[in-house]
């Protein structure tokens, strides 16, 4: 059995992959090694040894059992042992950990933007990973509310409760119109998660999308407008 550590592109869990089959083993030999056996004809190859072999594998996530294709790079010295482990379920691979050179489906990328305050960016990346790994929806609703708390403190809100802080930002003209509505929704759904442990998978996905829009309107768009203005100033 060959198990490769990695983050699943389906469920985003860090549980690795069980490899079921492998093919297209290739090892890159140096031109010097190739010439040893072929005196009479021209030889093309690498100048320096890469010492790495490439293997294409099919496997499943150890947690959600969905399929993945992996291209692995492994030390030439471990290739034979690795092949034996793929063929024999009883054999455990104990060589150097192969490197995942590429993966299909591709790994998921959490949305973020340089304009987001670091704490907000980190919290929202965690929130997206919770959605992918199908964490209990109430926790995601509570998580979205926590992101909103951080947004309010970054935007300089005053007030004892989150309700008061969101209202304060509306009065200051920072969270106006539709932004205020979104923030209020996030606060309300977060409360439902906290007090009654309510919420479906769809609620969690919708609220994460809402939270993304809030972050885009509150941080990304103003940053892009500022950048565009500065560019115009420089050019003319
Ligand atoms: Zn998975």
Domain ranges within the chain, ordered by starting residue = 2-104, 118-235
Ligand 1 centroid distance, CA of 163 (Å): 37
- How many Å lie between the centroid of ligand 1 and the Cα of residue 51? 31
* Confidence class for position 174, pLDDT limits 50, 70, 90: confident
For residue 135, how far is its CA from the centre of ligand 1 (angstroms)?
A: 13
**Of 25-39, 151-165, 168-182, which gets the smallest average pLDDT?**
25-39
CA 235 to ligand 1 centroid distance, Å? 49
> Which pLDDT band, with edges at 50, 70 and 90, does 50 fall under?
low
CA nearest to 33, candidates 21, 44, 17, 20: 44
pLDDT for 24: 63
* 3-class state of residue 11 by DSSP: coil
Average pLDDT over residues 88-109: 90
- Listed in sequence order, the residues at least 6 apart from 131 whose beta carbon sits closer than 8 Å to its beta carbon are 140, 204, 205, 208
| Alpha carbon distance 97, 80 (integer Å) | 14
Range 66-72 average pLDDT: 94
Residues within 5 A (CB) of ion ligand 1? 8, 10-11, 61, 63-64
Q: Is residue 43 over pLDDT 70? A: no
Contacts of 229 (CB under 8 A, 6+ apart): none
Which band of pLDDT confidence, cut at 50, 70 and 90, is reported for residue 23?
Answer: confident
Gap from CA of 151 to ligand 1 centroid (Å): 31
What 3-state class would DSSP assign to 94?
coil
Domain 118-235: top CATH class: mainly alpha
pLDDT tier at 30 (50, 70, 90 boundaries)?
A: low
Binned at pLDDT 50, 70 and 90, residue 233 comes out as: confident
Among the listed residues 105, 103, 100, 185, the one whose alpha carbon sits nearest the alpha carbon of residue 144? 185
Q: Is the dihedral of CA 150, 155, 160, 166 positive or negative?
A: negative
């Amino acid at each position: 059995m060959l198990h490769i550590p990695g983050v699943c592109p389906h469920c985003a869990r860090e549980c690795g992959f069980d490899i079921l089959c492998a093919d297209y083993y290739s090892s890159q030999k140096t031109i010097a090694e190739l010439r040893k056996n072929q005196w009479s004809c021209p030889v093309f190859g690498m100048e320096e040894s890469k010492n790495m072999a490439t293997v294409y594998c099919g496997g499943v996530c150890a947690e959600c059992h969905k399929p993945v294709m992996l291209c692995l790079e492994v030390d030439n010295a471990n290739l034979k042992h690795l092949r034996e482990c793929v063929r024999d379920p009883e054999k455990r691979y104990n060589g150097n950990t192969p490197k995942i050179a590429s993966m299909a489906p591709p790994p998921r990328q959490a949305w973020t933007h340089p304009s987001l305050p670091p704490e907000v960016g980190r919290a929202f990346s965690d929130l997206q990973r919770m959605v992918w790994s199908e964490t209990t929806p109430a926790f995601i609703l509570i998580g979205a509310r926590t992101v909103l708390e951080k947004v309010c403190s970054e935007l300089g809100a005053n007030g004892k409760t989150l309700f008061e802080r969101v209202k304060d930002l509306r009065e200051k003209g920072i969270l106006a119109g539709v932004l205020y509505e979104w923030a209020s929704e996030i606060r309300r759904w977060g409360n439902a998660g906290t007090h009654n442990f309510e919420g479906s998978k769809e609620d969690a996905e919708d609220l994460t999308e809402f939270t993304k829009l809030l972050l885009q309107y509150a941080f990304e768009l103003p940053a892009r407008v500022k950048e565009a203005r500065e560019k115009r100033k420089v050019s003319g």
